[in-house]
């Protein structure tokens, strides 16, 4: 396998050109390209360049409307809604973002829901963005169904991650917690399926409800929730916020994020932002004490530490990319 080294700016530029060539407007492509670059920067391959051919295919087949113009509304002082118009989630989120931040600072708390949407990339990046605004952020997004209820076989909810962004009081994030309801992200199983590798024990069951190590069988069956019924419960919480509250379709009715079948998935997101100053004068000190209590323990690691480490390396050294993948991406530009 031939590997290439790319700078982060080159990654962003390649994604931007590819999406525009596939049918996206410049503004929409710019939001997605930045998200892709950030994923590569933080070592999250599954949401980086690997996804670009999928984005391009979905633009061409109509699964996502590259020319969509999001519509932002503020029906109440602390409520923001965004209709993504079956376009990418990223530009819809960007359009509503300043309204959400303003509402949270004005009211002490505000929520923004997005519907008629699509994959929003790395959820933790949205939570980090809220934290960098000095706010406490809780973000949720649902996905096409891939997890069956305990003792069931038919998927009802998606991997349905949530992310928490905690401000450090200095314009950054003290903690970024980003985890899904499943034992592993579905994108990891998709990646292993493409590469012909087995998955790990305890990740998924086949359509007959039996444990499997075959990635293709896992994709036909059900992923397993982390922590059994507790993981399913966390995924259900996300489903209610990101799907039911936003007015998006249920995970069980959403078309897949992979492949070209089914039309726009019309999924949704929910972002809640709290201004700590509206609730407590000692928030920052409490966070500082909590972080120290974790970090001072030998071998313990704060959530998000791995991403920060990868970020520090890639910002200097760039990223190593499969040359064949770059060839597939560049084919959309020619």
Q: Is the dihedral of CA 55, 57, 63, 66 positive or negative?
A: positive
Domain-located, residue 219: no
Is the pLDDT at 64 greater than 70? The verdict is yes
Same domain, 101 and 156: yes
Rounded to a whole number of angstroms, the CA Rg of the chain reads 20
Total count of residues recorded for the chain: 334
> Active-site residue 258, yes or no?
no
Domain-located, residue 55: yes
Is the pLDDT at 312 greater than 80? The verdict is yes
Is the pLDDT at 1 greater than 70? The verdict is no
Domain-located, residue 66: no
Range ranked top by mean pLDDT from 46-55, 104-113, 254-263: 104-113
Mean pLDDT score, 17-41: 98
Domain interval for residue 324: 1-61+305-334
- Of 12, 40, 128, 188, which residue is the catalytic one? 188
Same domain, 90 and 120: yes
CATH number of the domain enclosing 262: 3.30.1370.60
How many angstroms separate the CA atoms of 3 and 319, rounded?
A: 10
Model pLDDT, residue 187? 75
Neighbours of 43 (CB within 10 A): 15
Same domain, 89 and 101: yes
Distant-in-sequence, close-in-space partners of 127: CB < 8 Å, separation ≥ 6: 137, 138, 139, 163, 164, 165, 173, 176, 177, 178
Q: Which of 86-95, 256-265, 283-292 has the lowest mean pLDDT?
A: 256-265
The per-residue pLDDT of the chain, averaged, comes to 95
How many angstroms separate the CA atoms of 54 and 112, rounded?
A: 27
> Active-site residue 188, yes or no?
yes
Same domain, 296 and 279: yes
Domain-located, residue 237: yes
> Active-site residue 47, yes or no?
yes
Model pLDDT, residue 323? 94
Domain-located, residue 211: no
Same domain, 139 and 233: yes
Segments in the chain forming alpha helices (H): 8-22, 26-41, 52-61, 89-107, 123-132, 186-195, 215-220, 229-238, 283-295, 305-317, 323-330
Enter the pTM of the model: 0.94
Residues 84-99 as b or e (16 or more Cβ within 10 Å = b): bbbbbbbbbbbbbbeb
- Of 12, 31, 40, 47, which residue is the catalytic one? 47
Mean pLDDT score, 102-106: 98
- Of 46, 132, 255, 288, which residue is the catalytic one? 46
Total domains, the chain:
2
């Amino acid at each position: 396998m031939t590997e290439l080294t790319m700078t982060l700016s080159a990654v962003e530029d390649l994604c931007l050109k590819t999406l525009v060539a596939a049918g996206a407007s410049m503004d929409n492509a710019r939001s997605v390209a930045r998200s892709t670059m950030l994923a590569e920067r933080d070592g999250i391959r599954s949401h980086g360049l690997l996804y670009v051919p999928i984005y391009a295919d979905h633009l061409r087949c109509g699964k996502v409307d590259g020319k969509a113009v999001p519509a932002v509304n503020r029906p109440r002082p602390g409520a923001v809604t965004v209709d993504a118009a079956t376009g990418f989630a990223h530009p819809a989120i960007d359009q509503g973002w300043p309204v959400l931040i303003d509402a949270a600072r004005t009211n002490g708390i505000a929520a923004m829901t997005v519907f008629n949407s699509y994959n929003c990339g790395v959820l933790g990046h949205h939570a980090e963005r809220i934290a960098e605004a000095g706010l406490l952020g809780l973000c949720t997004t649902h996905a096409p169904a891939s997890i069956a209820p305990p003792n069931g076989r038919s998927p009802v909810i998606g991997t349905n991650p949530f992310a928490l962004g905690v401000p450090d009081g200095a314009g950054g994030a003290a903690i970024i917690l980003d985890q899904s309801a499943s034992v592993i992200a579905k994108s990891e199983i998709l990646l292993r399926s493409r590469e012909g590798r087995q998955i790990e024990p305890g990740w998924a069951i086949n359509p007959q409800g039996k444990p499997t190590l075959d990635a293709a069988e896992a994709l036909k069956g059900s992923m397993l929730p982390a922590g059994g019924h507790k993981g399913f419960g966390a995924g259900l919480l996300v489903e209610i916020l990101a799907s039911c509250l936003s007015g998006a379709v249920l995970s069980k009715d959403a078309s897949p994020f992979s492949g070209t079948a089914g039309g726009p998935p019309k999924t949704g997101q929910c972002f809640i932002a709290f201004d700590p100053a509206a609730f407590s004068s000692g928030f920052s000190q409490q966070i500082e004490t909590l972080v120290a209590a974790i970090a001072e323990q030998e071998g313990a690691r704060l959530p998000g530490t791995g991403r920060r480490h990868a970020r520090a390396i890639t910002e200097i050294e760039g990223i190593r990319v499969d040359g064949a993948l770059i060839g597939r991406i560049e084919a959309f530009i020619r």
